Amino acid sequence: MPLLTKINRRTWIALWAQDRRRSRANGLLPAPVLRAAYPDLLQWDWDCPNPYRWNAYLSLDGGVTFFMPGDYWISGDGREFAPDGGSEFYFIVGVDANGKEITQRSNSVRPDDGIAPPVPVALLPGLLAYWPMDEDTGLYNDASGNQNDLTLNGQTLEYFTGKLGTAIVSVDYTSSLTAPVALIGNFSISFWIKTAQENFFTCLSQATSGCIGYLFYGHSGGFSFQVYTGDAETNPNFIQDVSSGSFGPVGGTISDGEWHHVVGVLNGQEASLYIDGVLADAVTGEFPLIPSANPMMLFDNNTCLGQTVIGSMDEVGVWQRALSAEDVGMLFNNGNGLAYGNF
């Protein structure tokens, strides 16, 4: 009669737990591969159909123990997660409608381990002002260090989630922001805008009541960058509808309630308008710009060409030079935007 090998209780428990883990893993879908992505994102690869939702677990003790905060889950087709903090470890696991885990647990990763992209220092020359519209910068402060801070006129501008950080939101037609910036010669203005307003509106301008100066405005047929380069008596050269009045990513308009990137460029004999990284149109004329006696205004139009916009603006930058198409592409950043801190 063969002798049975004796094992102690500790060894038996270890073997039982190992078999249980193997058995459990064999009934689960593969683990997602989690990785950190700059600036503070967690992203993962997954070759199978999405589970009912992904649960994200957090560790506050360097990865020794994990717990799931009540709202740390992602449903639908999302394959990335932006946690509240970036210095702690996280892992994710897929669950079914009953909360049962149906995938193996991912590796644990810290969002702060994401590698920052190269800094595009080419955007810094000629920068006059940059307004991130973020709470931690004072909302209206100029991040460029040139002290071109915005001034609030009225009391009804609010802030909400922006393209990057927060954004300033106009909720009626009574308030605006004034910028102490005077542009001459070649210049460029970049901003993100989100609005569902379809009727005529102006979102940024520096013009008199006779529209001497420049302005950005939207209408039912598109979005335009207008530059006045003469006076009505001696040289009435009125560059109007640089977008040809019909350019827009959705139905010929940007008024779809989504974020869109706008850049207006004056360069020598040409005024150009970019929308979402694409050259919408360019118009030649007798430049340079005839400057306005009024200040630059956001959410207002200096009494020129109709009403102001109801919507949000974010990441507004002003350059005393003409940005190149490559510069515009860096600012658009494949639709992700580029914060001033990454210049």
Q: Is the pLDDT of residue 302 over 90?
A: no
Per residue in 171-222, pLDDT (tens digit) is 887 788 999 998 888 999 999 999 988 778 888 988 876 677 888 888 776 7
Structurally, how many domains does the chain consist of? 2
Per residue in 58-115, pLDDT (tens digit) is 999 999 999 999 889 988 777 898 888 789 999 999 999 999 999 999 999 999 888 7
Residue percentage of the chain with pLDDT more than 90: 41
* Per-residue confidence band for 42, with pLDDT thresholds at 50, 70 and 90: very high
Q: Is the pLDDT of residue 49 over 90?
A: no
Distances in whole angstroms, Cα of residue 141 to Cα of each of 161, 165, 187, 296: 18, 14, 21, 15
**Residue 278: strand, helix, or coil:** strand
Give the domain-ending residue among 49, 84, 113.
113
d(CA 108, CA 340): 30
- Quick one: pLDDT at residue 218? 83
Domain enclosing residue 39, as ranges: 25-113
Give the domain-ending residue among 94, 113, 132.
113
329 and 206 part of one domain = yes
Cβ count near 135 (within 10 Å): 10
**DSSP 8-state class, residue 249:** T
**In-domain check, residue 83:** yes
Domain containing residue 78: CATH number: 2.60.40.10
Q: Tell how strand 311-319 and strand 187-194 pair up.
A: antiparallel
Domain containing residue 244: CATH number: 2.60.120.200
- Quick one: pLDDT at residue 67? 95
Give the domain-ending residue among 113, 145, 177.
113
Cα 282 from chain centroid (whole Å): 25
Asked if 207 contacts 236 with a C-beta cutoff of 8 angstroms, the reply is no
